[in-house]
Amino acid sequence: MTGGGRLVPWHSFATGLAALFLSCASPGGAASTAGQVMTVTGPVSPDRLGPALMHEHLFVDWFENMPAAASADDVSPAVRRRMQQAGWPVPRDAEQARFFNSPDLTLDMIDELRRDWRLRTNYRIDDETLARREVAAFAAAGGRTIVDLTPYGLGRDPARLRRLAAASGLTIVMGTGWYRWPFHPDAIAAMSVDDLAAIMIRDVERGGPDGIRAGIIGEIPVDSRSIRIPADADPSDEEVRARSGAARKRLLALPLAERDAVDPREIYDPAELKVLRAAARASRRTGAALSLHGVDPWIGYLRIVEEEGADLRRVIVGHADFILADRALLQKALAKGVTLQADYRLQYYPNQSPVGDVTALVAGIAWAVAHGHRDQVLLSLDICNKVGLRHYGGGGYATLHNHILPKLRAAGLAEHDIQHILVDNPRRLLTMAEPRR
């Protein structure tokens, strides 16, 4: 048990899961919730949702499956290797190790964060009292619903989410799935597509051991940056950065028409493609929407989603920066029927410029709305580090209302367009569709 009321951590019930999950997820075992929204407190009417953030992490722990340091000056080889496999720089000396292991985040650490030093506690949000204060600012700005897409292996905690929903009065919808493979629990490697799909189906239809049910599949990564590094290798940060960015660089070098011919197996690790296929299968079989972590400059991975029979009109491509900023790619994605979500780059982090340059994203959203595609646009913030919270100098969950909506209005979006994006689109996507077996 990792504290904070988590009933059963993922790694402790992974053993023997195939038979358990497959039986729990068997067709016909759960009452249909089609036409309703499944929240952490149970099914509700779609009319209850109001303005929504569709991709957040109210509680998260990126290092949940990684060992703690033996001392303040130490970062274990296993943690270093996983960080490198994720494409991250690693602590290189005792000073950086002590910084990485610091128990608290304080504002006098911001300069080191700007230099891309990593701080383990920055990647853990687990204070329920603080969470209540943070979401209160969102509610005060007019927000009513938050979708938490924290996956297994990154601190997913249904019980905490249910307590936060009760304490805050907000509607909270929970996701299910797995993130990039360096953050996978070890048990995932031996599991099949069917095994993984069964777990997600179980989470939507019945819930886990605590009975709290997921209302969306995700976030599911399609991210080319993860790289395989042997246990005895220690590449430099520059080498890691080059390898991690190689697939993206390759895609950007190709004309748009040629990118679709690239096999996704040449871009993504097999472990992540396995999760993507399982998630698409679970979406089809449950009627839950599928939310993707789609950070690359193409949409070629959608062929896998289509092969599994998932409805592209119920697929959200999150972190869609490249797509929204490239008019030709934007038109191609919209023609597929998927919904494009701007999120992470809309956040205000104190170790970066406030909100940053979002001109291209705002322009892409405005173009989509002006050309009849407002049904295919979503907004969120993807707060996943402490520095995104108001308590630590960030903009918090009200950033969208305080900083981004004024920019959209200045770009020509009318109030009814903004309400459609904040209310109508989340309501449509979070309303469970009829399952297709």
Handedness of CA 93, 94, 96, 100 (dihedral sign): positive
Reported as a single tens digit per residue, the pLDDT across 317-327 is 999 999 999 99
* Mean pLDDT per 10-residue segment, the chain (437 residues): 34 42 45 90 97 98 90 92 96 96 94 94 97 98 98 96 98 98 93 98 95 97 96 94 97 95 96 98 98 97 97 98 96 98 91 75 97 98 96 95 96 97 98 94
Runs of H (alpha helix) within 220-292: 237-244, 246-253, 256-259, 270-286
Q: Which residues contact 248 (CB under 8 A, 6 or more apart)?
A: 224, 225, 296, 297
Reported as a single tens digit per residue, the pLDDT across 328-364 is 999 999 999 999 999 999 998 887 756 668 999 999 9
Give the pLDDT score at 348.
86
The residues facing 38 across adjacent strands are 43
End-to-end CA distance of the chain: 36
Tell the residue number behind the tokens 């080889």, with chain if given.
77
- From the DSSP assignment, how many helices (H) and strands (E) are in the chain? 20, 12
Instruction: For residue 290, give the nearest of 436, 145, 86, 432 by alpha carbon.
Output: 432
Spell out the SS3 assignment of 52-84: EEEEECCCEECCCCCCCCCCCCCCCHHHHHHHH
Give the pLDDT score at 317.
98
CA 340 to chain centre: 14
The residues facing 222 across adjacent strands are 294
Residue type, 289: A
Reported as a single tens digit per residue, the pLDDT across 212-256 is 999 999 999 999 999 999 988 999 999 999 999 999 999 999 999
- Structural domains in the chain, CATH included, are 13-28+36-64+125-430 (3.20.20.140), 77-120 (no CATH)
Question: Strands across the sheet with 377-379, in order?
Answer: 217-222, 290-294, 315-318, 339-342, 377-379
pTM over 0.85: yes
**Mean pLDDT for the chain overall:** 92
Secondary structure (DSSP) of 271-286: HHHHHHHHHHHHHHHH
